[in-house]
Amino acid sequence: MKESPELAVVIPTIGRPILIQTLQSLIGADDFERLEIIVVGQLADAGVLAAVKGLCAEHKNIRHLDVAFAQGDSSRKKNAGWQAAKSDLVAFIDDDVVVARDWPENIRSAFQQAAVGLASGPALVPDELPLMARLAGSALASKAAGYVAQRYLAGDARPREIRWSGLIGCNMAYRREVLERLGGFDPHFWPGEEMIAAFRATRLGHKLVFQPGAILYHYPRGSFTRFCRQIFTYGATRIRLMRAGVDFEPTTIIPAIGLLGLLALGIVALFSSWGGYLLLISAVHYAVADLFFTLAKYRATRRSVDLLIFFIIPIMHACYGLAEWVELLRPGRDFSEAKHEQ
């Protein structure tokens, strides 16, 4: 490369075949020659390894760091990537995404103001995915997901400053100086290292900007079990974040309180008809709210299939709330992606 790269793109990976699709999308993006792409992780699949080696040989701005770590794997891979990068702007994306053609330009544009230290953009679920994956994406992008729904929605709005909790880890970028000031991503806080880093960065005075135009498409595994595990991880991570001292956000514990309330009413209902009535009333109220969230999503998309999230939303809330209680009572469980991909 004759010029210094304008943006480094670090891809921590566990070697999934879709990594090749991620790299091909970057190769096809605008200003690809101004990117510095660093794949970080061991590639056990011989086919994936051969394909990555071929792309590295063909494109001198693609590198592969063959590393693995016993603990804090994702955090340490991110750190190895940004420390090896030459650019002053470093983006981090997952190994199962496809970036939009103008993604590099749009994620860079979020840093026009010197006060902006980190940025994030939306992760959309493609229409061609299996039904369960699409429903999972629709549920996460519905009002039932609260403020985090904005992470999964495209929009024409201008870049806007957001709280640390609005960042999404599969589509984020930092100024190098901010990463240096933080000491990188905390390998002891994993998964969820990107959230604690965003919190600490904003506490240091750096602005976090959400750039709606910096779109990438996420290709998650589409099974019901995978969705439940994903939401369970989110819930457990929220408690870990609270334990680490992040700002308390009351809405994030509603699922846990709701589960406790239903359990209490269920027990009371065994001994009192009033408990049964209260349980029924609570269930009806929740069903009405669920229907409201479902219809709001349908009005926004006009896709009949999105009406099915009526059945997905309760599962999402239950998994999140249950995970919060599990993490409170039995802290420190391993929810790492690599563990479940073996």
The residue-averaged pLDDT of 10-22 equals 95
Question: pLDDT tens-digit profile of 130-139?
Answer: 999 999 999 9
Helix (H) or strand (E) holding 12: strand 7-12
Q: How far apart are CA 65 and CA 84, in angstroms?
A: 9
Q: Where are the domains of the chain?
A: 7-221, 242-341
Quote the strand ranges of 156-289, DSSP E: 160-161, 171-175, 207-210, 216-218
Annotation: CATH topology of 7-221? Spore Coat Polysaccharide Biosynthesis Protein SpsA; Chain A (3.90.550)
Reduced 3-state DSSP string for 48-101? HHHHHHHHHHHCCCEEEECCCCCCCHHHHHHHHHHHHCCCCEEEEECCCEEECC
Peptide bond into 126 cis (omega under 30): no
Question: pLDDT tens-digit profile of 32-45?
Answer: 999 999 999 999 99
Question: pLDDT tens-digit profile of 59-72?
Answer: 999 999 999 887 65
Give percent of the chain above pLDDT 70.
94
Question: pLDDT tens-digit profile of 89-144?
Answer: 999 999 999 999 999 999 999 999 999 999 999 999 998 889 999 999 999 999 99
Per-residue confidence at 339, pLDDT binned at 50, 70, 90? very low
Question: pLDDT tens-digit profile of 175-227?
Answer: 999 999 999 999 888 778 999 999 999 999 999 999 999 999 998 767 899 99
